[in-house]
C-alpha cells in the first residue's frame, strides 16, 4: 500500500494530522484552480479551504475506486458550482496579482532595463489572459481550466458538470478563440513569457 | 482534398489531445501540405502555451504556502465536523430510509423541450381523465316518450295512357265517302260481308306521319270515375 493510501486510511480512522499531510500534497493545485476560477485571492482561499473541509467530512465515502485527486476534484467542482449559485462574485477585469508593478533592479541599469522589459511584457500577457478569463462565463472558465490546467478529457468534464460533450467542446473552443484573438500570438512560444515561470511577477 | 476551414475546426481539439490517433495523424499530414494551416496551428499552440505559463505565473510565492497550510490546519481542527465515518455503519432501516430520501431528492437534468413535453402530456392526461370522470358521473337525462303513429296518406299516381289514332288520308276519305254513299245505297252489301270489307280497307292503310298524342293525367280515383 502506498504512503498516500496509508495516510488516507489513517485519516479515515479519524487522524486529522494524516489528513493535513494529504492536504499539503494537493493544496496548491486546489488553490490554483480556485484562484483562476474566482480570480480573487480571498475568494480562492475561502473556496479552497471549503473544499478541504468538505473532503474531510466526506472522507469515509472514498472507496479507493479512483485516485484520491480525482475524488477530491469532484468535490472541488461541486463546491465551485454551489458557490457560484449562492454567491455573486465580483468579476473584475483586474486582479491583485496582475495589478502589481514589475520589479526594478537598481544595481545594474542595463540588466534592470532588460528584466524590466521582460517583466512588463509578461505582466501584459498575464493581464490579457486574466481579462479573457474574466470575460467568459464562470461555466466556460471552469471548463477551460479543467481541460487546460487539469488535463481532463471532454467526456470527463461533461460528466462532472452534467452537460453535453458538444457543449464542452464549444465552450473550450470559444475560450481558446478569445485567447487567440486577445493575445494575437503569431510566433514561437519561447518569445513570450520568458520569465513567467521564474516568478518575476511575484 | 484539403479544406482549410474544415481542418482548422479541429485545431483546438488537436492541440488539446482530444483527437484519436489515426485522425490526428491525418490532420498533421494535412498540415504539412498547407503552410497557412501550419502557421495557424502553431499560433494556436503558442496561445495555449502562453496562457498556461501566464496562469502558472499568477500563483502565490513560496512563502505564502506555510501560512496557508497553518490556516487550513487550524480550520480543520476548529471546525469540529461530524465526519461521515462517525455516523457509519448505518442500520438496515436507516440505509433504506437514506436510499428512499436519495430517490426523492435526486434530480435528473432534463432538456427543456423534453420537460415541457412531459408537462404538456401530464396536463393533457389529467384533463382527459377528469373529462371522462365527469361524463360518467353526469346523471342520465330522462328519455322523451315518442309515440309513433302510422298514417296513410294518398299519393297521387300518374298514369300515362297512350292512344294511337289512325287518321285517314284525303283520297281515302273521299273514297270512304263514296263507300259511305255506296253503303247507303247498298246497305245489304256492306253489312253482308263485313270481314271482307275490313280486309279490303286495311290493305291500303298507312298510318299518318303526324301523330297527336294526348296524355291524360289523373289519379286512380279519377280514372275510376
pLDDT score, position A116: 73
Nearest to B57 among A61, A132, A197 (CB): A197
B98 vs A: CB within 8 A:
no
For cell 371522462, name the residue: B132
More confident residue, B216 or B29: B29
Mean pLDDT of chain B: 76
In chain A, residues with a C-beta closer than 8 Å to the C-beta of B81 are 53, 56-57
pLDDT score, position B163: 80
pLDDT score, position A199: 37
Residue B191 exposure: Cα atoms within 13 Å on the Cβ side:
5
Nearest to B69 among A27, A128, A153 (CB): A27
Instruction: Give the cell for residue B136.
Output: 360518467
Q: Would the CB atoms of B58 and A58 count as touching at under 8 Å?
A: no
pLDDT score, position B158: 75
Q: How far apart are CA A19 and CA A10, in angstroms?
A: 8
Instruction: Give the cell for residue B59.
Output: 500563483
B102 vs A: CB within 8 A:
no
In chain B, residues with a C-beta closer than 8 Å to the C-beta of A58 are 84
Q: Could you tell me if A132 and A179 are in contact, meaning their C-beta atoms sit under 8 angstroms apart?
A: yes
Q: Is B223's pLDDT higher than 60?
A: no
Q: Which alpha helices (DSSP H) does B58-111 contain, by range?
A: 64-79, 84-87, 92-105
Q: Would the CB atoms of A196 and B53 count as touching at under 8 Å?
A: yes
Chain A (57-116) residues lying within 8 Å, Cβ to Cβ, of chain B: 57-61, 95, 97-98
CA-nearest of A129, A124, A40, A16 to A88 is A40
> Tell me: the pLDDT tens digits for B140-197?
666 667 788 888 887 777 777 788 888 777 665 555 555 555 555 444 444 444 555 5
A202 to chain B nearest CA, in Å? Answer: 6
Q: How far apart are CA A168 and CA A150, in angstroms?
A: 14
Q: Give the pLDDT band (50/70/90) at residue B97.
A: confident
List C-alpha distances in Å: A170 to A114, A165, A167, B37, B133.
Answer: 40, 9, 5, 20, 51
Q: How far apart are CA B186 and CA B196, in angstroms?
A: 15
A195 to chain B nearest CA, in Å? Answer: 9
Q: How far apart are CA B98 and CA B102, in angstroms?
A: 6
What value of ipTM does the predicted structure carry? 0.74
Q: Would the CB atoms of B72 and A183 count as touching at under 8 Å?
A: no
pLDDT score, position A68: 93
Q: How far apart are CA A68 and CA A74, in angstroms?
A: 10
Which segments of chain A have a pLDDT < 70? 1-2, 85-112, 186-202
Cβ neighbours for A149, distance < 8 A, ≥ 6 positions apart: A32, A33, A36, B52, B55
Nearest to A148 among B44, B52, B61 (CB): B52
> Tell me: the pLDDT tens digits for B70-81?
998 888 888 765
Chain A (138-167) residues lying within 8 Å, Cβ to Cβ, of chain B: 147-149, 153-154, 162
CB atoms within 10 A of CB A19: 22
State whether residue A150 is helix, strand or coil: coil
Q: Would the CB atoms of B82 and A57 count as touching at under 8 Å?
A: yes
Q: Is B64's pLDDT higher than 70?
A: yes
B40 vs A: CB within 8 A:
no
Burial code (b: 16+ CB inside 10 Å, e: under 16) for A54-78 equals bbbbbbbebeeeeebbebbbebbbe
Q: How far apart are CA A60 and CA B216, in angstroms?
A: 116
Q: Could you tell me if A38 and A47 are in contact, meaning their C-beta atoms sit under 8 angstroms apart?
A: yes
More confident residue, A49 or B199: A49
pLDDT score, position A97: 44
A153 to chain B nearest CA, in Å? Answer: 7
Q: How far apart are CA B160 and CA A103, in angstroms?
A: 130
Q: Could you tell me if A103 and A157 are in contact, meaning their C-beta atoms sit under 8 angstroms apart?
A: no
pLDDT score, position B172: 58
Q: Could you tell me if B84 and B98 are in contact, meaning their C-beta atoms sit under 8 angstroms apart?
A: no
Among A48-62, B8-22, B48-62, B91-105, the least confident range: B91-105
CB atoms within 10 A of CB B18: 17
Cβ neighbours for B36, distance < 8 A, ≥ 6 positions apart: B4
Q: How far apart are CA A68 and CA A4, in angstroms?
A: 9
Q: Give the pLDDT band (50/70/90) at residue B3.
A: confident
For cell 485516485, name the residue: A67
Q: Which alpha helices (DSSP H) does A97-164 contain, by range?
A: 109-135, 138-148, 154-161
Check: pTM over 0.80? Answer yes or no: no
Amino acid at each position: 500500500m502506498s504512503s498516500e493510501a496509508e495516510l488516507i486510511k489513517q485519516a479515515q480512522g479519524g487522524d486529522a494530522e494524516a489528513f493535513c499531510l494529504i492536504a499539503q500534497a494537493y493544496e496548491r493545485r486546489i488553490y490554483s484552480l480556485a484562484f483562476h476560477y474566482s480570480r480573487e485571492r480571498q475568494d480562492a482561499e475561502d473556496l479552497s479551504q471549503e473544499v478541504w473541509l468538505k473532503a474531510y467530512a466526506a472522507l469515509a465515502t472514498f472507496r479507493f475506486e479512483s485516485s484520491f485527486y480525482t475524488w477530491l476534484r469532484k468535490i472541488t467542482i461541486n463546491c465551485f458550482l454551489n458557490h457560484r449559485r449562492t454567491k455573486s462574485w465580483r468579476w473584475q477585469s483586474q486582479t491583485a496579482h496582475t495589478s502589481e508593478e514589475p520589479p526594478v533592479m537598481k544595481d545594474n541599469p542595463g540588466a534592470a532595463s532588460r528584466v524590466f522589459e521582460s517583466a512588463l511584457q509578461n505582466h501584459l500577457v498575464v493581464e490579457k489572459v486574466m481579462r479573457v478569463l474574466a470575460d467568459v462565463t464562470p461555466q466556460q472558465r471552469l471548463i477551460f481550466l479543467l481541460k487546460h490546467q487539469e488535463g481532463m478529457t471532454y467526456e470527463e468534464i461533461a460528466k462532472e458538470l452534467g452537460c453535453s460533450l458538444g457543449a464542452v467542446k464549444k465552450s473550450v473552443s470559444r475560450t481558446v478563440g478569445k485567447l487567440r484573438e486577445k493575445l494575437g500570438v503569431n510566433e514561437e512560444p519561447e518569445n513570450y513569457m520568458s520569465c513567467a515561470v521564474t516568478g518575476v511577477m511575484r | 482534398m484539403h479544406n482549410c476551414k474544415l481542418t482548422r475546426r479541429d485545431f483546438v481539439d488537436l492541440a488539446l489531445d482530444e483527437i484519436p490517433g489515426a485522425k490526428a495523424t491525418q490532420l498533421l499530414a494535412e498540415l504539412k501540405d498547407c503552410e497557412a494551416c501550419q502557421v495557424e496551428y502553431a499560433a494556436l499552440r503558442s496561445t495555449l502555451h502562453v496562457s498556461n505559463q501566464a496562469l502558472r505565473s499568477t500563483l502565490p510565492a513560496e512563502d505564502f504556502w506555510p501560512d496557508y497550510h497553518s490556516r487550513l490546519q487550524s480550520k480543520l481542527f476548529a471546525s469540529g465536523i461530524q465526519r461521515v465515518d462517525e455516523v457509519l455503519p448505518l442500520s438496515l432501516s436507516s440505509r433504506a430510509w437514506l436510499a428512499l430520501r436519495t430517490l426523492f431528492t435526486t434530480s435528473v437534468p432534463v432538456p427543456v423541450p423534453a420537460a415541457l413535453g412531459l408537462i404538456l402530456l401530464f396536463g393533457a392526461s389529467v384533463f382527459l381523465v377528469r373529462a371522462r370522470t365527469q361524463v360518467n358521473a353526469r346523471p342520465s337525462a330522462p328519455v322523451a316518450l315518442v309515440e309513433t303513429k302510422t298514417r296513410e296518406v294518398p299519393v297521387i299516381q300518374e298514369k300515362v295512357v297512350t292512344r294511337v289514332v289512325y287518321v285517314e288520308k284525303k283520297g281515302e276519305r273521299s273514297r270512304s265517302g263514296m263507300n259511305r254513299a255506296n253503303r247507303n245505297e247498298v246497305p245489304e252489301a256492306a253489312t253482308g260481308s263485313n270481314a271482307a270489307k275490313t280486309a279490303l280497307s286495311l290493305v291500303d292503310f298507312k298510318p299518318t306521319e303526324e301523330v297527336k298524342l294526348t296524355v291524360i293525367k289523373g289519379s286512380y280515383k279519377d280514372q275510376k270515375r
